[in-house]
Amino acid sequence: MVDNVAMSPNTTPADRYAVVGHPIAHSKSPTIHRLFAQATGQHIEYNAIESAPDAFADTLIRFVAQGGKGLNVTLPFKVEACELATDPMPSAVLAGAANCLAIRGDRIEAHNFDGKGLVTDIAQHHDTLLRGRRVLVLGAGGATRGALPALADAGPAVLAVANRTADKARDLQIHFAPHFALQAGGFEDLAGESFDLIINATSTGLSDQGLPLPPGLFAPGALAYDMVYGKGLTPFMRQAQEVGVTRLADGLGMLVEQAAEAFALWRGVRPPTADVIRALRG
């Protein structure tokens, strides 16, 4: 356990929550939930728990036995969290992964709020409604899979996925076909297309690698959104900037908004988020 924050001087024991991951030391979740608790007057304790890669089930069992009420789950445990839950909710089932568990007696409910957090951030903090717009997601890994159902729910005119390994994008198209239409292919299939919102969900935001984006991909006024945060201008954002895109966003707002969904589920109170995002940037 690397962080432990008691959130209020109340004398009754605080309900316990935590984020579990590997690694977890630099997680912003304890800070975010402390700020939410302060803003809403909720009396909670929120820790960061480091779990060995093969020990997530034990970590979860121990947390439940100790009376824990809820967990945020981050890499690499999101798929396992969904599998271990007794009650996976549709958002987790569709994504095949969970980032939030609510513990209710001997039941464990699993949700995936990553997509909802992304859509809320784009709508509320970047003034972009997706209804009727053309939306492209780059990458076809877990981050994309988690985001697609909420993006589809927002009603875009076109929802597309492009991936270096085109077959992985097509696998997502098949997986989601019963629920919504998805355009899928490789980067070369993007030639001649343009989009109002382009989301980078590849892991290149963590490296210095750019992506093979064809000319004209960004429609006038497009928003270029990179899911990573805390990296400044990523290679994808720089590529967008170089072709004249002025609306750039990182994933910090998505992180805060998915946390707000978890907090609202656990506590029945919706925390304010704009000040928390500002505080984290500061």
Sign of CA dihedral 158, 163, 166, 167: negative
| Minimum CB distance to ligand ATR, residue 10 (Å) | 38
Smallest separation, CB 42 to ligand ATR (Å):
31
Write out the H or E segment, with its range, that includes residue 225.
strand 218-226
Instruction: Name the residue among 119, 112, 113, 116 with its Cα closest to residue 133.
Output: 119
Residue with the CB atom nearest ligand ATR in the bound state: 141
Q: Which residues bind ligand ATR (CB under 6 A)?
A: 139-144, 163-165, 168, 201-204, 209, 211
Q: Which is nearer to ligand ATR, 10 or 203 (CB)?
A: 203
Distance CA 262, CA 100 (A): 6
Closest approach of ligand ATR to the CB of residue 76, in Å: 9
| Total H helices, total E strands in the chain | 10, 13
CA distances from 201 to 2, 67, 99, 130, 144 (A): 28, 35, 16, 17, 6
* 76 cis-preceded (ω within 30 degrees of 0): yes
**Min. distance of Cβ 268 from ligand ATR in angstroms?**
31
Closer CB to ligand ATR, 120 or 144, in the complex: 144
> Is 168 in the active site?
no
Closest residue by Cα to residue 71 from 229, 268, 263:
263
Place of tokens 């957090």: 117
Of 39 and 211, which CB lies nearer to ligand ATR in the complex structure?
Answer: 211
Strands 158-162 and 3-6: unpaired
Per the residue annotation, which of 28, 69, 78, 116 is the catalytic one? 78
Host H or E run for residue 257: helix 252-267
| Sign of the four-CA dihedral 195, 201, 205, 210 | negative
In whole angstroms, give the CA distance from residue 36 to residue 34: 5
Of 180 and 187, CB closest to ligand ATR: 187
* Rounded least distance, CB 266 to ligand ATR, Å: 25
Instruction: Give whichever of 198 and 201 is closer to ligand ATR, judged by the CB atom.
Output: 201
Active-site residue set:
78
